Amino acid sequence: MPKNRNTFSSLSAWRRRTVAGAVQRGWQWVQNAGAVTAEHPGRLRFGRIGHGTRLAFPQGTVFGEPWIELGDHCIIGEQVTLTAGMMPGLDLGAEPILRLGDGVVLGRGSHVIADTTVTIGSNTYCGPYVYITSTNHSYDDPHQPVGKQWPRMEPVEIGPGCWLGTGAVVLPGARLGRNVVVAAGAVVRGEVPDHAVVAGAPARVVRTWDDQNGWQPPLRTPTPIPIPEGVTPEQLLAVAELTPDEV
């Protein structure tokens, strides 16, 4: 009897492994087939989608795409929302509303809501669940539900080379300079100068950089050592496989 139970258990484990493998391969096929690129835009007709740009499947809410321009080599994660205009079906005029520069990365579950112009500079990276919006609810009338009052809209501009950490929120009217770091969970409004680090809700500048003084306050961690030029991927893999005694 124990031998039979072991046999059934082995068969059951084999079936589970087989089914799991089939499901994973099937989902990988669906993800590849459902991804949006310039060559395979599917139902989405963006004003521009650059070479090498890819929207992972499943996509989040996307509308107003004729007024959305995506640069080259952008990475748009799963369930990312990209909208231009307050609702689908509006004529937003001749100019784009939402622009992403080349090499922009939007992490999984992020939202970019452009009821008026939103510009994200080249090589800006956003972690998961970042929220960027040009619109905010107003509550001027204390007798009306907030959701029924006409919202306020202001353009948003994020400079090139920025890094927005997980869960960061960028509010209407925000203008971020070049190479700005936004800490995870920060809520940004107003202007942020070039080469600044902001944190908190509302966000405030906690570190700045200039040619004369460098970073102030000084960085507490050593500068990362870059990979030397000419090192191949195979060599990196070989180093990763070394044991501590061999390093």
The set of catalytic residues is: 137
Residue 150 Cα distances to 12, 135, 136, 147, 161, angstroms: 59, 10, 9, 8, 34
User: Which tokens is 170 given?
Assistant: 């960028």
Which of left, alpha, beta for 115 (phi over 0: left; psi -120 to 50: alpha)? alpha
For residue 98, how many C-alpha atoms fall within 13 Å in the half-sphere facing its CB? 26
Which DSSP state fits 150?
Answer: P
Give strand pairing partners of 55.
36, 76
Give me the sheet containing 105-106, strands edge to edge. Answer: 54-55, 75-76, 105-106, 125-126, 163-164, 181-182, 196-199, 204-210, 214-216
What H or E segment, with its residue span, contains residue 170? strand 169-170
Residue 40 burial (10 A CB sphere; 0-12, 13-18, 19+):
exposed
User: Which tokens is 218 given?
Assistant: 């000084």
d(CA 135, CA 230): 47
